[in-house]
Amino acid sequence: MIIFNNPNYTPATWHLAMIMWAFTIIPLVSNLYFRKVLNTFETIGGILHVVFFIVSIITLTALAQRSTIDFVFKTIVTGVSGWTNPGISFGIGLLTVVFPLAGEIVQFDFNAELLTLNRCRRSPSYEYDYPTYLCCT
């Protein structure tokens, strides 16, 4: 973004390292010092994901260019993205759509596990019951 806005900018390798440290330190500080409001932020994030998904679908449905039924159901378009294998093209396209949603789902699942952690009881044979051992340690 800096290169687009400032043509005299020359990138250095340490600039990227500082940006990556910022992306690491900000969640670390928020997890350490704002634990009480983290659940609220996650809930708001989940609700906004659903709301913006619905808004995006409505917007695309209302404004998108329509195709014929024959084109939608009978035409396979491959090789446009540069990948000649249709399976790889499908996998890469699916990955870009599913990855953000998977990140949000992981946060909710992890939060649910942390909320039930105090109610977890250690099984008598926790040495052999690895998932229970992980939950209760």
Please report the pLDDT score of residue 39 as a whole number. Answer: 83
Residue 98 contacts residue 29 (beta carbons within 8 Å): no
Domain ranges of the chain: 39-136
Which tokens sit at 94?
């699916």
Residue 46 contacts residue 106 (beta carbons within 8 Å): no
pTM to 2 decimals? 0.43
CA distance 66 to 55: 19
Please report the pLDDT score of residue 51 as a whole number. Answer: 96
Please report the pLDDT score of residue 56 as a whole number. Answer: 96
pLDDT along the chain (137 residues), means of 10: 84 88 88 83 90 96 91 82 81 80 72 64 53 50
